[in-house]
A and B are shown apart, each in its own frame.
Chain A
């Protein structure tokens, strides 16, 4: 079983839709990251969370430490949001980061 899982694996949405991407993990963590990867490989780190909720523009990230679950929400989605979104966790032991498999998002005009 993967220590970090994401759902859905692929997501297609119409422009303007509210989007949710989920991440669940099975290990103790010190922080969780949401990353965005555009074609070409460049990764942009969107959020680093250790508790609660963070908001940046149309993006909102939440984490529930007790349930070992995080969500990334995109409000009023736009075609430029099309990318792969990756959840990554920093383990509390062994100083290791584990990346989720990614969610490929396509937003259609």
Chain B
């Protein structure tokens, strides 16, 4: 069964460092998303990506964040200078039509 793959499963970084979270969406999907969940809080939408550009982003997705689809298979989320409050679970998702996305298992980011 096809699945969205995220790596690493757990990333530990020092405050101020750059991190790149990686995702391999399902191969024929066209819509890609990042979400995050701070421990104990609700899941929050970050950004959606379609046709090689951002289609929607939330207010959380500020200049510290960027997304890229560097090749035909990967979809990355970069945080330029991590802050303590960036510690969260980050989920990637993809879909064919923009509804009912398939989610990855998540990457837990711990900023120390």
Query: Of all chain A residues, which has the CB nearest B99?
Result: A84
Q: How many A-B residue pairs have CB under 8 A?
A: 55
A104, B55: Cα distance in complex, Å:
21
Give Cα A3 to B33, complex, Å. Answer: 22
CB-contacts of A84-100 with B (<8 A): 84, 88, 95-99
Please, which residues of chain A bring their CB within 8 A of the CB of B89? 97
A45, closest chain B residue (CB): B42
A41 proximal to B (CB < 8 A): yes
Q: Which residues of A contact B (CB under 8 A)?
A: 33, 35, 37, 39-45, 48, 84, 88, 95-99, 101-102, 104
What 9 A-B pairs come out closest when comparing CB atoms? Answer: A45-B42, A41-B48, A102-B100, A99-B103, A42-B45, A43-B45, A45-B43, A41-B33, A40-B56
